[in-house]
């Protein structure tokens, strides 16, 4: 719907890749609907994945002993986080929907995207115990994980060698997004694009475009262990 804001956090080195195309399709399709779409292209931005002292501008809260969680929490409250973090937090704050687009690395997201999670979702901004899970500070937002795999759909079935793909989504969808109060839409998974025909890859893009047309009508998944482990 017009006026909705979407942030796509994108982690792939090559624009001509399937991930690059999936990102482009999302930008086109959502813009066509009248949404305003922002992309954080992490590799192009040379986004810093490491959580360090540099994330706090000026004096530390406790200069005797560095505690990243405490320091960034305090820095957030006094407005002295580094600029790149403030920028990303502003994008998250404004977004109704967060789309994470990436290739699966080692059953997880690429380091540069994990670093985005580590650094951007600061205490006080995204969560603040006991304000987590259903009362996380980013409630009223939606997230969607869209990713490609190396392994086939069969490998990621419940009885398959890699186990159910949903097991891998538990740390990402539940441990990060749901923890921050975000509601999660069903993931969009393109299995083993490297091993299929050009024709099949085109179908993958078409299917994504189709899904995006009715995305705003979708209900979030059931945010409980049952969805992942039943």
* Coil vs helix vs strand at 146: strand
Query: How confident is the model over 94-137, as pLDDT tens digits?
Result: 999 999 999 999 999 999 999 999 999 999 999 999 999 999 99
Read off the pTM: 0.97
Please, are residues 152 and 158 in contact by the beta-carbon 8 Å criterion? no
CA pair distance 62, 40, nearest whole angstrom: 32
> 2: pLDDT confidence band, cut at 50, 70 and 90?
confident
Query: For residue 78, what are its two tokens?
Result: 């006094």
Please tell me what DSSP assigns to residue 56.
B
Q: Which residues of 56-71 are buried (b: 16+ CB within 10 A; e: fewer)?
A: beeeebeeeeeeeeeb
CA pair distance 222, 216, nearest whole angstrom: 17
Q: How far is CA 170 from CA 56, 122, 150, 155, 165, in A?
A: 30, 20, 19, 18, 9
- pLDDT on residue 60: 97
Query: How confident is the model over 197-219, as pLDDT tens digits?
Result: 999 999 999 999 999 999 999 99
* Coil vs helix vs strand at 92: helix
Please, are residues 166 and 125 in contact by the beta-carbon 8 Å criterion? no
Whether residue 130 has a cis bond before it, omega within 30° of 0: yes
Q: Which CATH class name applies to 5-229? A: alpha beta
Q: How far apart are the first and last CA of the chain?
A: 34
Residue written as token pair 């006991």 = 130
Query: How confident is the model over 44-89, as pLDDT tens digits?
Result: 999 999 999 999 999 999 999 999 999 999 999 999 999 999 999 9
CA pair distance 58, 165, nearest whole angstrom: 43
**Nearest CA among 141, 127, 132 for reference residue 91:** 141
- pLDDT on residue 191: 97
Query: For residue 3, what are its two tokens?
Result: 């006026």
Mean pLDDT of 160-173: 97
């Amino acid at each position: 719907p017009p006026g909705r804001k979407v942030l796509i956090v994108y982690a792939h080195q090559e624009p001509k890749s399937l991930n690059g195309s999936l990102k482009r399709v999302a930008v086109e399709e959502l813009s066509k609907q009248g949404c305003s779409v922002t992309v954080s292209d992490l590799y192009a931005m040379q986004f810093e994945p490491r959580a360090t002292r540099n994330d706090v501008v000026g004096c530390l809260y406790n200069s005797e002993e560095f505690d990243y969680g405490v320091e960034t929490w305090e820095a957030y409250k006094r407005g002295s986080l580094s600029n790149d973090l403030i920028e990303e937090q502003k994008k998250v704050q404004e977004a109704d929907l967060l789309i994470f687009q990436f290739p699966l690395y080692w059953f997880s997201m690429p380091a540069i995207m994990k670093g985005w999670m580590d650094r951007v979702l600061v205490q006080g901004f995204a969560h603040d115990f006991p304000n987590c899970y259903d009362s996380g500070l980013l409630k009223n937002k939606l997230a969607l994980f869209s990713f490609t795999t190396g392994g086939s759909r069969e490998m990621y079935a419940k009885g398959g060698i890699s186990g159910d793909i949903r097991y891998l989504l538990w740390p990402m969808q539940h441990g990060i997004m749901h923890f921050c109060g975000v509601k999660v839409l069903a993931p969009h998974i393109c299995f083993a694009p490297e091993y299929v025909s050009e024709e099949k890859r085109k179908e993958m893009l078409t299917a994504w475009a189709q899904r995006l047309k009715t995305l705003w009508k979708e209900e979030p998944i059931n945010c409980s262990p049952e969805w992942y482990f039943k």
